[in-house]
């Protein structure tokens, strides 16, 4: 990522993109990435953090995802009874992060695209979410309770269902973080969609741009741990832009496991990608502090919903190499 739009454009020029650098720079977006907090002592309730226990109003129940549909089709697809039983049974979601919106908004330039008070809490159910269910496996909660009334909410047991797919622990290690401003750039595939210029596409294939892309633009590996977890701006997709999956589900052209989008079915809906906001991106290996874990989770929501403080249509997209 980059400290400013002008720095991004300068790097693109140096990478041989010439006049096309300004065109890409126009699509650059500010984002917030998270760095470990240097605060000593016990952080205040409601402070931004990854993992641990969320601090929510007393009496709030732990969020579950419902039983997912198409259990028999899922069983035939995966040929795994344990996974099918998990798919068809309500499961407690895993808490990923809470974000203090006041602090985040203060670090962000320009119009703030989220509520400017309270906190956002992010939950995801990894067992079936990594196989492809977006909205049902995600929960984003906006809460404005006074900080002094917040209490830790502890994760329940898994309800007797066997844990599968590597037996990841249900709780991420707690890490208090603070948001820092950076500038993000669209992925290669998204640039090609936004700017359908064959000359530009040829220049992007050159080694100079590829070196810049993998070193600075698509920096999601553990070599750039401080840049991995972020909110807003452009994502760093491992596969498609996660907005494509969110759009496919919202448009009804994807309903795992009985329907998957194709180039023909998704193309008419691609313009609505730009109507979706990256709420949070979390890299699992770094979040779990476990190099044996792989993949990225992207929380997406319609921009108009996020601005209005509505997150019932938020979806989580999982990708891995």
- The answer to whether the pTM exceeds 0.85 is yes
Residue 253, CA atoms < 13 Å, CB-side half-sphere: 16
Distance CA 191, CA 24 (A): 7
Look at residues 315, 310, 285, 263 and name the one whose alpha carbon lies nearest to residue 139: 315
- For residue 161, pLDDT beyond 60: no
The percentage of residues in the chain with a pLDDT greater than 70, rounded to a whole number, is 92
Q: What is the spatial distance between Cα 202 and Cα 215, in angstroms, rounded to a whole number?
A: 19
Q: Tell me the pLDDT tens digit for each residue of 76-104.
A: 999 988 889 989 999 899 999 999 999 99
- pLDDT for residue 241: 92
Q: Is the pLDDT of residue 302 over 50?
A: yes
Is pLDDT above 50 for 114? yes
**With the C-alpha atoms ordered 246, 3, 223, 51, is the resulting torsion angle positive or negative?**
negative
How high is the pLDDT of residue 129? 81
Which residues, in sequence order, are CB contacts of 191 under 8 Å at separation 6+?
A: 24, 27, 185, 200, 204
Give pLDDT tens digits for 41-80: 677 889 999 999 999 999 899 999 999 999 999 999 999 8
Domain ranges of the chain: 5-319
> Which range among 107-121, 138-152, 166-180, 188-202 shows the weakest confidence by mean pLDDT?
166-180
- Mean pLDDT is lowest, of 111-120, 207-216, 290-299, 311-320, for 290-299
Question: How many helices (H) and strands (E) would you count in the chain?
Answer: 14, 14
3-state secondary structure of 207: helix
What's the rounded Cα separation, in Å, for the pair 146 and 179? 21
Q: What is the DSSP code string of 179-192?
A: EEEEEE---HHHHH
Smallest CA-to-CA distance from 220 within 169, 165, 277, 278 is with 278
Q: Is the pLDDT of residue 210 over 60?
A: yes
CATH of the structural domain 5-319, one choice from 1.10.3720.10, 3.90.110.10, 2.30.320.10, 2.60.120.260:
2.30.320.10
């Amino acid at each position: 990522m980059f400290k400013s739009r002008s720095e991004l454009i300068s790097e693109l020029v140096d990478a041989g993109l010439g006049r096309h650098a300004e065109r890409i720079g126009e699509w650059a977006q500010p984002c917030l990435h998270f760095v470990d907090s240097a605060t000593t002592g016990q952080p205040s309730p409601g402070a931004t953090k990854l993992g641990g226990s969320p601090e929510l109003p007393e009496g709030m129940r732990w969020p579950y995802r419902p039983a997912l549909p198409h259990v028999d089709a899922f069983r035939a697809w995966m040929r795994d009874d344990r996974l099918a039983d998990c798919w068809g049974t309500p499961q407690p979601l895993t808490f990923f992060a809470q974000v203090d919106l006041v602090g985040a908004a203060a670090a962000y330039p320009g119009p703030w695209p989220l509520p400017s008070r309270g906190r956002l809490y992010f939950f995801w159910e990894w067992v079936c979410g990594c196989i492809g269910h977006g909205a049902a496996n995600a929960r984003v909660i906006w809460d404005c309770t006074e900080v002094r009334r917040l209490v830790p909410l502890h994760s329940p047991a898994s309800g007797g269902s066997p844990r599968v797919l590597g037996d990841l622990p249900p709780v991420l290690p707690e890490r208090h973080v603070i948001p820092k401003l950076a500038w993000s750039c669209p992925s290669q595939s998204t640039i090609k969609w936004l700017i359908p210029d064959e000359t530009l596409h040829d220049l992007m294939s050159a080694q100079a741009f590829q070196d810049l892309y993998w070193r600075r633009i698509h920096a999601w590996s553990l070599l750039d741990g401080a840049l991995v977890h972020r909110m807003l701006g452009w994502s760093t997709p491992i596969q498609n832009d996660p907005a494509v999956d969110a759009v496919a589900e919202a448009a009804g052209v994807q309903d795992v496991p009985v329907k998957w989008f194709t180039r023909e079915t998704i193309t008419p809906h691609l313009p609505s990608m730009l109507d979706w906001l990256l709420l949070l991106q979390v890299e699992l290996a770094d979040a779990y502090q476990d190099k044996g874990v792989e993949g990225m989770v992207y929380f997406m929501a319609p921009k108009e919903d996020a601005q209005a403080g509505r997150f019932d249509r938020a979806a989580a997209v999982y990708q891995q190499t």
